[in-house]
Structure 1
């Protein structure tokens, strides 16, 4: 069920999934009754099928067109070959799954993706159709309730790009579906450079505090991040009645993100990002005064967790739009508060004029408390969520400057047996001096001095420098909750878990992977040595596991080191020639860095994988690059060289595993594999 609340918080709408259709149901906080809206069959093929229309009285919904008729039937025989052609223009593309592959697939896409827009009155249940059925990439009502911004997807389609790259016409409509103004007609986005952006208007949004004003970003570098230009983006604005040309509001030196709007005075915050330095800046601008001098508010490494000023908090206007939570010239910043001892969330009141912060709240060193939302416009009252290793998260009302708090909820511990799990934040250094960390987790009933079989769980990340790579994230003060196929279930079977071990890959963004294997090995070796030095693990009985890029890490560690007795790799990519136009943060193509792609592919070293390897993968994995064939081919390669390997393909599962049967089977596979190869002395 998909539930969305009205802006005033008094009503909600829910999508109810049945065997034959998706129904629309309405409810209110002052009634226990739910009412179905007759005549509405929602269509959620491309996005959420319902949203509130500029207030709390109407919904904008996507319906299955009536009459829909039966879906297209496959041809008894193909009408001809499926042809793709390129006429010499470069068009690099990431590796995607589940693409259209034939004219019949195109018919199916038309059938299932086509929807009818409609307005639904929540009081009377009156349904008003808007325009004609189409494939809508997006549809957004203006704050005035009189206009719609729609993006209609059109042909020609692509067999190598996702539907979001298909040609589309972005238009302003009135409530009847009549065209008011064409905003942009985008061709097939098949020429966008890797890590680039489309040319023309992008990130088109309504300004929340005006009836019908559009803003968007436009690239000034042709969308190519490698082009040297003084400014990469500009912010444009188009006001009702949409007859005058759009005006330029602001230019950014680096790639811009969509603005966060203030409630008064035309205030907006806009950020840009220098991908080479991984550096972010945030500016204050005034939309109605383009000549006003922008003010730089924050300038920092995006990877610097200790220096993160926090994210601006927002509030919902009666029209359903989000704006900055303001108190005079001040805004509010909510941050994780990373420290060398773990996260301590905070709430700051930040004066945009003086650039001074007033700390309203910071979590203590005992327990973990984070801000959920503001309860007063001046920030003096706010809602927090508090948890500790022994108590589950509950909501509290707090007053700034006071240690007192009023408890709102009283959720109890759903799994008391997990409370005897021991946790400790452990820091150490790899051989080149880079600081690393993991959370040491020990099973219930652990006897000090006992050396346990252990599993290292990690996900490598790239950094520009060792200072940020060594920063601590997370907290040992949180309430342990196990969800899905969580590796920490192994604790209940008597294993130690080196949880979220940091495996940084440090270097210039263009060449950082040149030493991927070496840095991967240093990080894993340092973690095992530290845990062994503490006397809690048996270094001869250590396994390694990870998901996605962590699965890729697992296979590489088994191929290039003798640190581990066994491994479990989940939903990874193991042959980088199958992701030739880049992967993760790798910017170079296979043809620009052949040796690196080959060296980083554990498939090429399958003959060196001598330790037992369990491969798990969803049969319907649609994550870019992690085709199911990646695990299938690695299995065949290891098997062909006499290695110990097992392949488990999970039916109907994508990149993450959702079904109860899949989750339980994944846990059984991991437990059985590690019991077989780690438990024995």
Structure 2
């Protein structure tokens, strides 16, 4: 949604005002049934919550979302309305302040799709609201293939380094990622002054990236644009350069790499805000700056590079040393001779420092407010290997006063991730030198209850993009076994007192491991999805539908194997969870299934909570339930009979 923003002259504000409207209609008796209809055309859609469900909710949506744009002069106190009230989802002034790029929704609405898929009108108006150019009228985004994009103009935006030139992306494959074409996308450009419409460039892969510009980032010089594309089948990112001052000049390839190659990640460009308020790449003498996490076998070591795009030459300006975790937060000078660094260690909280011409001075002096809690907690990065040779890692935390050689109850906290190659799957992510922070429902708080915690234990699922989940369960079991074996080898883990836990997809993993292995004494699953037939058009990175791969959906669904969950499992879920796929009913139905099959299960539904838990009462209750459950079924459990 759009909000209050400065006009390019930095003197006026573009604001949404509450539109004068009728009183909010109360919901009386329904006027009739709510009807939906399929007209014989394929239209797969992911599962979403909080969708519109009735004509009354449509009226509520219009009531709350309708706004009246206005330009406000704060000094003079003058408010000038622009155009008519509507359901606006985007208003952006042109860099010269002469036009507005307007995106608004229109009926008919949908009961199956989110608001972002509703019919849209995209147009350019003057500052009085008069239409100057219609970019597109887009119908409901229904029938888009899984993993596809909306046909027609998308990511419509102003070229920030031009006065009033529009650019947008159009799919050349109809938005279907399975279509075989030579080029997936093209970028069009249209100048408002001359009205010329030209094709700027085409790309063999899908243009991608966060933000309104869809993978196109503009340099402050006005002569550079970085273009990022993504091949979803190969999970491959390619970077190109283009010249926004010369639309039609095409693009030139700069680099390409696996999107999952953390070690080879060159970093993200540093941006700044220009005089008109536009976000641009910071350039200095033709070069830009790249800031990255610096993943390595020893953990992350953030860096700052200077990159001459024309020659390809790179110069490393900053590289985090060993023993601490330091990263450049922002540049204070365009030539990078002055910048702000955030620095922390395992025992020292983050503080900020100014580095100027090689000299460092403190900017903040935040105290260690958690010292009494974290004193004595030890932390280390551990490396181990899965049975098939894939290297794995985790961060191992030991509780205060842990004795050498003492075997402790162990909690493994993890979240599965898919990889196309073993090389990428085996890379280390994260740093062992970050400050130990105990907050919210973090599993690290279990160290204060006497547990060893293997946090972010790697659980890779490796295979071709389309079929990796065919071996989801055995790969999970192999990863979990490797983690336990390492903890036991180090002399800190007790194989007979080990628990598994996770959130969302990690909760899904937890239930699967309890159903398909005897590695753990108990589990804690928070806000998960357990019956994949309720997400039939794909989930996570699974692109096949239930009807294309029913055996995979069945094998991956703990609900289908509830009779095998013979270890105690604690299910926690927010009653208002609106995350796609993790309906609260997922936990309720798994509880019913386990209970019906004689299993040991506890279901905790948190009032008013969404996918993550925020209220103090909810956070404390979650921790209390977790510690009580694990103490009873893991820490103080009697040795189990060997099968």
Mapped partners of 1:292, 1:132: distance in 2: 39
Instruction: Choose 133-142 or 298-307, whichever is displaced more.
Output: 133-142
Mapped partners of 2:588, 2:168: distance in 1: 44
1:255 aligns with: 206
Q: Cα 1:55–1:443, aligned 2, differ >3 Å: closer, same or farther?
A: farther
Contact 2:2-2:90 within 8 A present in 1 as well: no
> What is the number of residues matched between the two proteins?
630
> Secondary structure in 1 aligned to 2:84?
strand
Pick from 173, 179, 190: which aligns with 2:125? 173
Contact 2:124-2:132 within 8 A present in 1 as well: yes
Pick from 54, 71, 75: which aligns with 2:8? 54
- Correspondence 1:273-312 to 2 at 5 A: 273-290=230-247, 292=249, 294-312=251-269
2:329 aligns with: 372
- Correspondence 1:148-159 to 2 at 5 A: 148-159=100-111
Contact 2:200-2:250 within 8 A present in 1 as well: no
Mapped partners of 2:592, 2:81: distance in 1: 55
Contact 1:49-1:63 within 8 A present in 2 as well: no
Instruction: Choose 578-587 or 142-151, whichever is displaced more.
Output: 142-151
1:469 aligns with 2:420: no
Mapped partners of 1:122, 1:112: distance in 2: 26
Mapped partners of 1:242, 1:60: distance in 2: 26
Mapped partners of 2:504, 2:309: distance in 1: 41
Report how far residue 490 of structure 1 moved: 0.8
1:140 aligns with: 92
- Correspondence 1:493-512 to 2 at 5 A: 493-512=449-468
Contact 2:162-2:222 within 8 A present in 1 as well: no
Mapped partners of 2:91, 2:252: distance in 1: 33
Pick from 156, 162, 175: which aligns with 1:210? 162
Report how far residue 61 of structure 1 moved: 2.0
Residue-by-residue CA offset, 1:372-394 (whole Å, 9 max, x unaligned): 11111112221111111121111
Pick from 80, 101, 114: which aligns with 1:128? 80
Q: What TM-score results when the alignment is normalised by the length of structure 1?
A: 0.91
Q: Cα 1:397–1:55, aligned 2, differ >3 Å: closer, same or farther?
A: farther
Report how far residue 53 of structure 1 moved: 2.5
- Correspondence 1:144-543 to 2 at 5 A: 144-241=96-193, 243-244=195-196, 246-257=197-208, 258=214, 259-290=216-247, 292=249, 294-399=251-356, 402=358, 404-417=359-372, 418-543=374-499
Mapped partners of 1:666, 1:135: distance in 2: 39
1:588 aligns with: 544
Contact 1:181-1:242 within 8 A present in 2 as well: no
1:18 aligns with: none
The unaligned stretches of length 5 or more in structure 2 are 209-213, 638-643
Contact 1:267-1:284 within 8 A present in 2 as well: yes
Q: What TM-score results when the alignment is normalised by the length of structure 2?
A: 0.96
Mapped partners of 1:392, 1:671: distance in 2: 26
> Secondary structure in 1 aligned to 2:124?
strand
Mapped partners of 1:86, 1:331: distance in 2: 51
Instruction: Choose 190-199 or 114-123, whichever is displaced more.
Output: 114-123
1:645 aligns with: 601
Contact 1:349-1:359 within 8 A present in 2 as well: yes
2:640 aligns with: none
Q: Cα 1:492–1:58, aligned 2, differ >3 Å: closer, same or farther?
A: farther
Mapped partners of 2:307, 2:133: distance in 1: 40
> Secondary structure in 1 aligned to 2:289?
strand
Report how far residue 635 of structure 1 moved: 0.6
> Secondary structure in 1 aligned to 2:448?
helix
1:70 aligns with: 23
Contact 2:409-2:498 within 8 A present in 1 as well: yes
Report how far residue 181 of structure 1 moved: 1.1
Mapped partners of 1:612, 1:461: distance in 2: 25
Residue-by-residue CA offset, 1:90-117 (whole Å, 9 max, x unaligned): 1000011111111111111111111111
> Secondary structure in 1 aligned to 2:82?
strand
Report how far residue 435 of structure 1 moved: 0.4
